[in-house]
Amino acid sequence: MSIYIYILVMALTTYLIRAIPLVLFKKPIDSRFVRSFLHYVPVACLTAMTFPAILYATDHVVSGVMGLGVAVVLALCNRSLLTVAACGSLAVFVTDWLMKMMF
Amino acid sequence: MRKDFTAGIRAGIPVCLGYFSVSFGFGVMAVSKGLNPWDAILISLSNLTSAGQFAGLTVIAAGAALIEMILTQLVINSRYALMSVALGQKLGPQVGTGQRLAMAFFNTDEVFALGMTRLGKLSPAFFLGAGLIAALGWTAGTATGAAAGAVLPLSVRLALGTMLYGMFIAIVIPQARQEKPMLFCMGLALVCSCLFAWMPGLRDVRDGLAIVICTVVTAAVCALVFPVPEQEGAQ
């Protein structure tokens, strides 16, 4: 299948999710379950996407673990998005390089 | 009107810089998954969503069915529906459908936050200014990452590709630390996603679909166990 069909479908779905409620809903959502469900979606989805995928995104599992560890510690220290992302990826790079030197 | 637009652009500059660096990682990753740099740029230009694009990339790379793409985007981006509802409350009733349709495209987590923290009613011009500059950073970052991805050595590409995970971690951890139910939510999603990665049987489910199932199950369980407080008056 052409990649452009995928991109079109992806863009259209994403846009409609954003546009329909903004145009149609003038009142807040009443259902407590729906509001609760939506409240938990971001954390549930980002967590599922990050782990364990990060372990397999690098040359060695060890560098994935290092990147994860550095990012988690910095996030616990409330560092900015940019700092956490940059230092995590630096940790991955350095660990990968060290692994190559040693083996 | 023009003053609001300029104020929006100014407020959006930090978001623009943050987006640039993260979508640099997206560009690198897209190219290393075999995408043409122009296609990677097209994705960022037309979608403007980090988690959704990232999951979409997995779906494209797997050559999965279109329904899987729709399902993935619906679940991962469902939070935008909620944010759009909230954004609608912040706009006056005089804001027409055309302006709302334009604003909807730029409703990302960060631009939403900028809009919602404005005093009083939100001006569409402010929101569009902030959204445009953010989209510029997002697309330019992908372009730079995709171009660099073609020349950088593999080890650098892999490391930069993990920036996206770093961003997700930076979003999730502070929330899990602040709220007990969020910590539970993170733990449950973690267990669910590990089961799909390692357990025989579940292991064969495609990545994109596994993310959808994990998200829906986790969010539903959390919504039942820890429902959010009843609405206290409109904001």
Interface mutation target, options B160, B163, B184, B217, chain A, most CBs of A under 10 Å: B163
More reliable by pLDDT, B234 or B81: B81
Q: B78 CB near a chain A CB, below 8 Å? A: yes
pLDDT at B17 exceeding the cut of 90: no
Q: What is the pLDDT of residues B117-133, one digit of tens each?
A: 788 889 999 999 999 99
Structural domain contains residue A23: no
Domain containing A85 equals 31-102
Interchain CB distance below 8 Å, B80 and A14: yes
Question: For position B156, what pLDDT does the model report?
Answer: 85
Question: By mean pLDDT, which of A44-53, B94-103, B132-141, B157-166 is the weakest?
Answer: B157-166
Calculate ∠ Cα B2-B44-A92, nearest 5°.
Answer: 120
What does the alpha-carbon distance between residue B112 and residue B233 come to, in Å, rounded to a whole number? Answer: 21
Q: A99 CB near a chain B CB, below 8 Å? A: no
Residues 6+ apart with CB under 8 A from B38: none
| Top mean-pLDDT range of B56-70, B154-168, B185-199 | B185-199
> Who among B18, B60, B168 is closest to A3 (CB)?
B60
Q: How confident is the model at residue B149 (pLDDT cuts 50, 70, 90)?
A: confident
> Who among A21, A72, A78 is closest to B88 (CB)?
A21
Q: How confident is the model at residue A27 (pLDDT cuts 50, 70, 90)?
A: low
Question: By mean pLDDT, which of A16-20, B1-5, B66-70, B164-168 is the weakest?
Answer: B164-168
Structural domain contains residue A8: no
Q: Is A32 helix (H, G, I), strand (E, B) or coil?
A: helix
Cis omega (within 30 of 0) on the bond before A52? Answer: yes
Q: How confident is the model at residue B231 (pLDDT cuts 50, 70, 90)?
A: low
B89: exposed, middle or buried (C-beta count within 10 Å: 0-12, 13-18, 19+)?
A: middle
Count of domains observed in chain A: 1
Tell me the CA distances in angstroms from B222 to B143, B184, B229, one per residue in order.
38, 8, 13
Tokens of B5: 């637009």
- Work out the percent of chain B whose per-residue pLDDT is above 70: 98
Averaged pLDDT, A58-71: 94
Is residue A29 within 8 A of residue B82, CB to CB? The reply is yes
Q: How confident is the model at residue A25 (pLDDT cuts 50, 70, 90)?
A: confident
Domain extents in chain B: 2-171, 179-235
Q: How confident is the model at residue B144 (pLDDT cuts 50, 70, 90)?
A: very high
Chain B closest-CA separation from residue A22 CA (Å): 5
pLDDT at B78 exceeding the cut of 50: yes
**Following DSSP, what letter does each residue of B205-221 receive, concatenated?**
S-HHHHHHHHHHHHHHH
Tell me the CA distances in angstroms from B185 to A8, B17, B173, B180, one per residue in order.
32, 30, 11, 9
Nearest chain B residue to A45, by CA: B215
Q: How confident is the model at residue B152 (pLDDT cuts 50, 70, 90)?
A: confident
Question: For position B93, what pLDDT does the model report?
Answer: 80
Q: A11 CB near a chain B CB, below 8 Å? A: yes
Contacts of B193 in chain A (CB under 8 A): 47-49, 51-52
Interchain CB distance below 8 Å, B167 and A22: no
Interchain CB distance below 8 Å, B188 and A72: no
Structural domain contains residue A15: no
- Work out the percent of chain B whose per-residue pLDDT is above 90: 55
Averaged pLDDT, A57-77: 94
Question: For position B130, what pLDDT does the model report?
Answer: 95
Interchain CB distance below 8 Å, B172 and A47: yes
Question: For position A28, what pLDDT does the model report?
Answer: 66
Q: What is the pLDDT of residues A37-61, one digit of tens each?
A: 888 888 898 899 899 999 988 888 9
Chain B closest-CA separation from residue A46 CA (Å): 6
If you average pLDDT over every residue of chain B, what do you get? 89
Interface of B with A in 109-168 (CB under 8 A): 109, 154-156, 158-168
ipTM of the complex: 0.88
Question: For position A42, what pLDDT does the model report?
Answer: 81
Question: For position B235, what pLDDT does the model report?
Answer: 38
If you average pLDDT over every residue of chain A, what do you get? 90
Structural domain contains residue A64: yes
pLDDT at B137 exceeding the cut of 50: yes
